């Protein structure tokens, strides 16, 4: 034991250095090969392959020579020296890969082969040497008199525990503070010290000069079949664990957040479990070291610990959402929550996996010519399986089976392996073996049945838990169940793609979710998705070619391609599954996939840009949020230089940056990084909390007359009106935040603190602020710009700046932001300010009074709809006149208000006919107008139905299909349920969209039971069971003790329908939002 204490620290430090190297290498290669899963899988395969081959040869070598500890020290020195040289090799590899053209030229298959070969050039020497260290040090321990079974377990555990610390240090401290290369070189220095200490120890180490036994003297025992089975078992458990690592990365991202911090926690927990398992083997294993029956037991235990979190996945997701509240404690609180959730999923299985490796070595030892050979054989087989798991996961298994399907597969593999080991590797007599085989088979079947559970549903995968989008802390049990059912009901489509899990949900519109977080909505986010590209195009003197980084809903590319003079729009998308998102979002993206101007390129944007020779007039980049692994490389100096090289002299680069959940210092770094590459950087606002930086080499001067002309021509006219709710040059300029002087001033203050490939500051800065905010506002940026007189762009021509200030107030009203009265505002602007305040408070009488003097001057896509709403609800005589003006902006809404007026005048028949026509037209209507139209038409339809119930079937038929891009889907369903309550004969279309996830409230649940009873639906038993379950959890309604008990579900349904609450999703809208609609402020 005393000798172990002297060796264990060396293995601990060596393990820490190894994982620091691996973290650095993965980042370095990601910058060359791109952030794709295939590229990462190739690098991981080479890394693991080097370890396995090194272990194999190291084990054979160490059994044939003296001085294993001296050999170990020399190997560690070789690891340190070769690792320190890898940054230089990476530079050479970059030049070769770029020279070959990358995946756009080589194709994905060719690029994968080249990545494997080039990765091998860089990693071969250090990984081969790393792999040989464990056989050498274990042999040294055994030669010194240590027990073999304890040596392997303790040393393996110490090495892995060091890897845990190396992972955490690299993830949470070193790379953020010092950058990638300095971190790697520091690890190399420490690693060299390990080698030197080992060499010093070897001079006095017992048994160091003893020649190992030859193969003849250390003849292996045991059957050849048993050895083959055990070697195969070592490979299978390696495959299972590495495949599960891929599954954990994919599936824990949505509940933990998917940042560089959470990925580090996942890896650290997996390694910690292995370390603990290795130590447990040393403490608990028998003198014989174990038997095939023990290996069978570990396989079944590991399968059980993998199946258990699968069966209770959504409950763990809720736990993760509850622990997300610890974000108030900062990164430490978040990390604590991550460890609890990820630990429940990973740690038990990892501990068993860690126990398995030394167990396999002890089983292989009697069948091998020496302990070094046993370690080498087991390590090589285990590593081969690990490579297979990494390649299978990275090259398509998750896509073919889905991540939950791959999770199921690992349990089945382990259950099957347990039976096979007992059947083929156990050398006890047959009767004893068959009893064990029968028991193992029964357990394996039970484990397989556990995997029939639903597993991770939309609650886990698409609810935004990790990004802080699921607030469940104060929910009751009933509220929590309602929330879970709503998330499952909203799921329209999901797939595990090559790079990410992708889903489409329909809360109130088509929203695409990538790795658990909303990455964009069809309409709500169109302010950025549509205008983010067009704001650069509207003033460009000669626009011909554009590049869009990220397909998303397809809106940016589609609207750019709609510009008549645009000849070609290239789109780089890393995840092919996103094409389905764009296909379903066709109503908002100008049918982008059918446009011959569009050219899709699948791959990593960095790789494509560096390898390309194309030149563009406009490049727009809106990747996912920079806190996600790999995304921040699209915000680095080196990336911006690649972008600049692809721009023509008059070209403009448009960079989206979130203005929500971002610390001011992070935004300052992003601005300074842009300024380090581009001379001119303007700041624009595209949504309440979205910024776009317009960067160029030449100053951008706006010709006001040209702006007016462009604003009145398509597609700019439609985009400005529908998306930005403006219509002229003043409206366009209202989104301007700051001239280039602001970014230059920030860059000067930052004094060179920029985001680079080697020092990815932004990745960590954004990761620290996920789900949190610390005072940054667009209004604050505007104030900073005013302070240095940079609040206006360079212009030629006259602009009505008072009108610009008015529009900004209107936009603040639309976005539910504080209303700022511009300095020196006129009486008319002050009156408009009071109108907006009264409208926000739903004080229509005051709003109407303030409107009266300025009615004649009202104009624009916000003022006119707002006035029409106020006058309609106050029955003002001017309502009809303003409604006619509204027809120029929102013709359908204008017709709805006319129908409302007709209904209030007593002509129900004419109003009903108009509403039915309008609701049918909405099926193919303008997605941007649907919100205001349905918000007004829905309550009107219900009022009409109450007055004339015979109209219900026709109204239901008009609403029986989702509207374009599922706009206001929840409102459509609410209206259908309200109509069903009036006429139960028309109830089936109201409840069918929710099955099998009903609205979790007493009134709609009871109405559902009555509906299915009347329709004699086979779903009636389920509906009755759901109502019973709801009432059991929510508690019975108040009643006198004399009231008879034991009522049937039908009677309880009737009572609930009469008295139950209806305060959630089913309640039809009673108060309209502004006719212009509301816009979300964050994704």
Model confidence at 1067, in pLDDT bands (50, 70, 90)?
Answer: very low
Residue 723 inside a domain? The answer is yes
pLDDT at 362 over 50: yes
Identify the domain boundary among 784, 799, 814.
799
Task: Tell me: pLDDT of 684 over 90.
Answer: yes
Helical residues (DSSP H) of 682-760, grouped into ranges: 704-711, 716-722, 729-733, 740-750
Residue in 112, 82, 88, 89 with CA at minimum distance from that of residue 100: 112
Bigger pLDDT: 715 vs 108: 715
- Spatial neighbors of 173 by CB under 8 A, at least 6 apart, are none
Q: What is the mean pLDDT of residues 272-295?
A: 78
Query: Which pLDDT score, from 0 to 100, does residue 30 have?
Result: 82
Residues 851/870, Cβ–Cβ less than 8 Å: yes
Q: Report pLDDT for 1080.
A: 44
pLDDT in the model for residue 56: 73
Query: What pLDDT band is residue 1042 in, cutting at 50, 70 and 90?
Result: very low
* HSE toward the beta carbon, residue 832, CA cutoff 13 A: 30
Instruction: Quote the pLDDT of residue 926.
Output: 94
Q: Categorize the per-residue pLDDT at 1071 as very low, low, confident or very high, splitting at 50, 70 and 90.
A: very low
Cβ–Cβ < 8 Å for 1052, 1034: no
**Could you tell me how many helices (H) and strands (E) the chain has, helices first?**
45, 14
| pLDDT surpassing 80 at residue 381 | yes
pLDDT tens digits, 767-786: 998 887 666 889 999 999 99
* Pair 582, 705 in one domain: yes
658: tokens are 């979130």
Average pLDDT over residues 1066-1083: 46
Residue 931 lies in a domain: no
Region of 516 on the Ramachandran plot (φ > 0 left; ψ -120 to 50 alpha; else beta) = left
Whole-number pLDDT of residue 375: 66
Residue 391 confidence (pLDDT)? 82
Residue 1028, pLDDT > 70, answer yes
* Residues 663 and 756 sit within 8 Å (Cβ to Cβ): no
> Do 422 and 290 belong together in one domain?
yes
Is pLDDT of 1077 > 80? Answer: no
Note whether 236 and 207 are same-domain residues.
no
DSSP letters, 559-627, are HHHTSTT--EEEEEES-TTHHHHHHHTGGGTTSGGG-TTEEEEES-HHHHHHH----EEEEEE--S-TT
Token digits of residue 22? 């691996």
**Residue 206's pLDDT is what?**
77
Whether 438 and 551 share a structural domain: no
pLDDT tens for residues 604-645? 898 889 888 899 999 999 998 899 888 999 999 999 999 999
Strand order in the sheet with 491-496: 491-496, 501-505, 511-514, 517-521
Query: How far is residue 841's CA from residue 1074's CA, in Å, rounded to a whole number?
Result: 12
Choose among 708, 658, 699, 654: nearest CA to 680.
699
Residue 1024 CA to residue 15 CA, distance in Å, equals 59
Higher pLDDT among residues 95 and 732, named by residue = 732
Q: Cα separation of 569 and 596, whole Å?
A: 9
Which among 66, 53, 177, 71 has a CA at the least distance from the CA of 124? 53
Within this chain, do residues 151 and 36 fall inside the same structural domain, yes or no?
Answer: yes
Residue 1079 has a pLDDT of 47
Please list, in sequence order, all residues whose beta carbon lies within 8 angstroms of the beta carbon of residue 312, skipping any fewer than 6 positions away.
Answer: none
As a whole number of angstroms, the distance between CA 945 and CA 393 comes to 55
pLDDT tens column, 737-753: 999 999 999 999 998 89
Contact 127, 46 (CB under 8 A): yes
More confident site: 35 or 808 = 808
In a domain? residue 847: no
Q: Considering the domain boundaries, does residue 981 fall inside one?
A: no
- Name which of 361, 356, 355, 359 is nearest 373 in CA terms: 361
* Residue 1015 buriedness (CB in 10 A; 0-12 / 13-18 / 19+): middle
The packing angle between helices 37-62 and 102-143, to 10°, is: 30
Q: Alpha helices, DSSP H only, in 144-288? A: 148-169, 175-178, 180-202, 224-256, 260-284
- Residue 147: is its pLDDT beyond 60? no
Average confidence (pLDDT) over 24-34: 84
Mean pLDDT, the chain, rounded, equals: 87
Query: Structure tokens of 717?
Result: 């006219």
Show which of 429, 447, 471 is a domain's final residue.
471
- The four Cα atoms 431, 437, 442, 445 give a dihedral, to 10 degrees, of -160
- Token output for 706: 């040209």
Band of the pLDDT at 294, cuts 50, 70, 90?
confident
Closest by Cα among 710, 704, 702 to 727: 710
Domain extent, residue 437, equals 223-471
pLDDT at 1075 over 60: no
The first and second tokens of residue 540, run together, are 């460009």
Residues 205 and 119 placed together within one structural domain of the fold? yes
**Residue 227 domain-assigned?**
yes
Write the CA distances from 968 to 7, 521, 526, 816, 962, integer angstroms: 66, 12, 16, 19, 9
Residue 242 tokens read as 């590495």
Contact 15, 74 (CB under 8 A): no
Is 287's pLDDT higher than 60?
no
- 169 and 228 inside one domain: no
**Do β-strands 647-658 and 616-621 pair in parallel, antiparallel, or remain unpaired?**
parallel
Please answer whether residues 677 and 638 qualify as being in contact, where contact means their C-beta atoms are separated by less than 8 angstroms. no
Task: Tell me the CA distances in angstroms from 801 to 82, 692, 808, 882, one per residue in order.
Answer: 64, 22, 11, 25
Q: What percent of the chain has pLDDT over 90?
A: 64
Task: Report whether 800 contacts 730 (CB < 8 A).
Answer: yes
- What pLDDT shows up at residue 136? 84
Q: Are 1061 and 1005 in contact (CB under 8 A)?
A: no
As a dihedral over the C-alpha atoms of residue 543, residue 548, residue 552, residue 553, rounded to 10 degrees, the angle is 10
Q: Running DSSP on this structure, what letter comes out for residue 655?
A: E
- The total domain count for the chain is 3
Q: Is residue 237 in some structural domain? A: yes
Per-residue confidence band for 212, with pLDDT thresholds at 50, 70 and 90: low
Mean predicted confidence (pLDDT) in 701-723: 96
Range of lowest pLDDT (611-615, 671-675, 728-732, 924-928):
611-615
Do 690 and 654 share a domain, yes or no? Answer: yes
| Whether this model's pTM surpasses 0.75 | yes
- Does residue 248 form part of some domain? yes
Q: Are residues 528 and 556 in the same domain?
A: yes
Boundary of a domain, candidates 750, 772, 799: 799
| pLDDT classification of 1064: cutoffs 50, 70, 90 | very low
CA separation (Å) from 444 to 271, 307, 949? 26, 11, 59
Reading the block at residue 745, the tokens are 């001033």
Residues in the chain: 1083
Domain annotation covers residue 567: yes
DSSP-derived secondary structure letter, 963 = P
Q: What is the CATH number of the domain that holds 692?
A: 3.40.50.150
Q: Kind and range of the H or E element at 997?
A: none
Domain CATH for 37: 1.20.1250
Q: Are residues 460 and 528 in the same domain?
A: no
Decide: 27 and 176 in contact? Cβ < 8 Å.
no
CB atoms within 10 A of CB 884: 12
Q: Give the per-residue pLDDT at 429.
A: 55
Comparing 16-25, 226-235, 331-340, which segment has the lowest mean pLDDT? 226-235
Per-residue pLDDT tens digits for 150-207: 556 677 788 889 999 999 999 999 999 999 999 999 999 999 999 999 999 888 887 6
Q: What is the pLDDT of residue 415?
A: 86
Residues 124 and 260 placed together within one structural domain of the fold: no
> Residue 281: its pLDDT value, please?
80
Q: Return d(Cα 427, Cα 408) in angstroms, integer.
A: 30
Q: Does one domain contain both 726 and 646?
A: yes
- Burial per residue of 673-705, b for 16 or more beta-carbon CB atoms within 10 angstroms, e otherwise: bbbbbbebbbbbbbbbbbbbbbbbbeebebebe
């Amino acid at each position: 034991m005393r000798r172990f204490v002297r060796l264990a620290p060396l293995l601990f430090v060596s393990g820490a250095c190894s994982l620091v190297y691996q973290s650095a290498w993965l980042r370095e290669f990601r910058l060359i090969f791109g952030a794709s899963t295939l590229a990462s899988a190739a690098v991981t395969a080479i890394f693991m392959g080097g370890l396995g081959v090194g272990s194999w040869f190291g084990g054979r070598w160490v059994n044939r020579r003296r001085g294993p500890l001296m050999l170990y020290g020399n190997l560690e020195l070789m690891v340190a020296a070769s690792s320190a040289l890898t940054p230089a090799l990476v530079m050479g590899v970059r030049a070769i890969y770029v020279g070959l053209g990358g995946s756009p030229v080589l194709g994905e298959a060719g690029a994968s082969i080249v990545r494997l070969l080039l990765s091998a050039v860089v990693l071969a020497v250090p990984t081969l040497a790393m792999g040989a260290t464990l056989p050498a040090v274990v042999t040294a321990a055994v030669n010194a008199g240590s027990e073999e079974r304890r040596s392997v377990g303790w040393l393996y555990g110490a090495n892995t525990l060091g890897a845990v610390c190396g992972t955490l240090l690299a993830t949470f401290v070193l790379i953020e503070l010092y950058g990638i290369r300095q971190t790697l070189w520091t690890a190399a220095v420490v690693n060299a010290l390990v080698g030197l200490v080992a060499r010093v120890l070897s001079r006095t180490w017992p048994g160091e000069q003893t020649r190992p036994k030859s193969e003849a003297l250390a003849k292996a025992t045991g059957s050849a079949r048993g050895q083959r089975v055990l070697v195969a078992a070592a490979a299978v458990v390696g495959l299972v664990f590495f495949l599960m690592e891929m599954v954990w990365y994919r599936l824990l991202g949505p509940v933990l957040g998917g940042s560089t911090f959470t990925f580090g926690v996942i890896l650290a927990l997996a390694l910690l479990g292995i370390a603990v398992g290795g130590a447990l083997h040393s403490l608990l294993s028998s003198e014989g070291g174990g038997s095939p029956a023990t290996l069978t037991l570990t396989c079944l235990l590991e399968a059980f610990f993998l199946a258990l979190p699968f069966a209770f996945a959504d409950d763990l997701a809720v736990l993760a959402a509850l622990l997300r509240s610890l974000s108030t404690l900062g990164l430490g609180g978040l990390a604590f929550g991550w460890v609890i959730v990820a630990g429940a999923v990973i740690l038990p299985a990892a501990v068993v996996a860690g126990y398995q490796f030394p167990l396999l070595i002890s089983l292989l030892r009697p069948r091998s010519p020496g302990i070094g050979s046993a370690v080498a054989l087991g390590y090589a087989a285990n590593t081969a399986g690990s490579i297979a798991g990494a390649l299978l996961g990275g090259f398509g298994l998750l896509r073919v089976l889905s991540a939950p399907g791959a999770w199921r597969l690992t349990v089945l593999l382990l259950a099957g392996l347990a039976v096979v080991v007992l059947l083929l590797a156990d050398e006890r007599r047959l009767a004893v073996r068959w009893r064990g085989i029968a028991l193992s088979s029964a357990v394996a079947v039970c484990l397989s049945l556990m995997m029939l559970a639903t597993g991770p549903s939309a609650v886990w995968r698409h609810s935004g838990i990790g990004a802080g989008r699921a607030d469940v802390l104060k929910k009751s049990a009933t509220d929590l169940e309602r929330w879970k059912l709503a998330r499952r009901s909203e799921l329209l489509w999901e797939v595990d793609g090559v790079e990410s899990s992708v889903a489409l949900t329909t809360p109130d519109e088509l929203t695409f979710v990538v790795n658990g977080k909303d990455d964009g909505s069809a309409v709500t986010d169109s302010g950025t998705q549509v205008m983010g590209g067009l704001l650069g195009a509207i003033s460009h003197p000669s626009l011909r070619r554009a590049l869009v980084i990220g397909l998303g809903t397809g809106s940016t590319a589609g609207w750019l391609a709609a510009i008549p003079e645009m000849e070609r729009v290239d789109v780089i998308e890393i995840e092919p599954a996103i094409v389905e998102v764009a296909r379903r979002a066709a109503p908002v993206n100008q049918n982008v996939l059918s446009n011959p101007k569009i050219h899709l390129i699948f791959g990593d944007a960095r790789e494509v840009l560096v390898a390309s020779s194309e030149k563009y007039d406009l490049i727009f980049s809106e990747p996912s949020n920079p806190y996600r692994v790999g995304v921040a490389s699209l915000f680095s100096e080196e990336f911006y230089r690649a972008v600049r090289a692809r721009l023509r002299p008059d070209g403009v680069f448009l960079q989206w940056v979130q203005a929500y959940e971002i610390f001011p210092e992070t935004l300052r770094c992003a601005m300074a990084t842009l300024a380090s590459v581009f001379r001119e950087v303007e700041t624009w606002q595209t949504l309440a909390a979205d910024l776009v930086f317009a960067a160029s080499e030449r100053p951008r001067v706006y010709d006001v007359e040209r702006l007016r002309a462009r604003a009145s021509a398509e597609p700019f006219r439609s985009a400005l009106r529908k998306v930005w709710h403006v219509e002229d040059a003043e409206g366009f300029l209202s989104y301007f935040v700051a001239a280039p002087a602001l970014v230059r001033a920030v860059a000067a203050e930052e004094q060179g603190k920029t985001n680079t490939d080697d020092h990815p500051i932004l990745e960590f800065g954004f990761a620290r602020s996920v789900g949190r905010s610390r005072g940054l506002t667009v209004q604050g940026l505007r104030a900073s710009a005013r302070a240095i007189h940079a609040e206006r762009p360079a212009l030629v021509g006259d602009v009505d700046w008072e009108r610009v200030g008015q529009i900004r107030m209107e936009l603040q009203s639309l976005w539910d932001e504080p209303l700022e009265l511009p300095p020196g505002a006129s009486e008319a602007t002050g009156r408009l300010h009071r109108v907006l305040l009264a409208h926000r408070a739903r004080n229509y009488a005051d709003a109407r009074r303030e409107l009266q003097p300025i009615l004649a001057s009202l104009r624009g896509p916000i003022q006119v709809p707002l006035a029409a709403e106020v006058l309609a609800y106050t029955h003002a005589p001017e309502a009809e006149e303003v409604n006619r003006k509204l027809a120029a902006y929102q013709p359908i809404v204008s017709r709805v208000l006319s129908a409302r007026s007709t209904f209030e005048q007593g002509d129900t028949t004419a109003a009903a006919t108009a509403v039915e026509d309008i609701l049918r037209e909405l099926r193919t209507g303008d997605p941007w107008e649907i919100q205001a139209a349905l918000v007004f038409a829905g309550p009107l339809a219900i009022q009409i139905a109450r007055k004339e119930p015979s109209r219900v079937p026709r109204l239901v038929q008009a609403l029986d299909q989702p509207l374009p891009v599922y706009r206001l889907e929840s409102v459509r369903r609410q209206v259908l349920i309200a109509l069903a309550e009036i006429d139960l004969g028309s109830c089936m279309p109201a409840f069918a969209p929710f099955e099998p996830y009903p609205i979790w409230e007493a009134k709609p649940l009871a109405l559902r039971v009555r509906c299915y009873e009347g329709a004699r639906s086979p779903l009636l038993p389920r509906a009755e069971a759901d109502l019973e379950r709801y009432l059991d959890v929510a508690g019975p309604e108040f009643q006198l003790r004399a009231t008879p008990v034991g009522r049937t579900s039908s009677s309880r349904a009737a009572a609930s329908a009469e008295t139950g609450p209806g305060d959630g999703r089913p309640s039809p809208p009673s108060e309209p939002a502004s006719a212009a609609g509301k816009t979300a402020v964050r994704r």
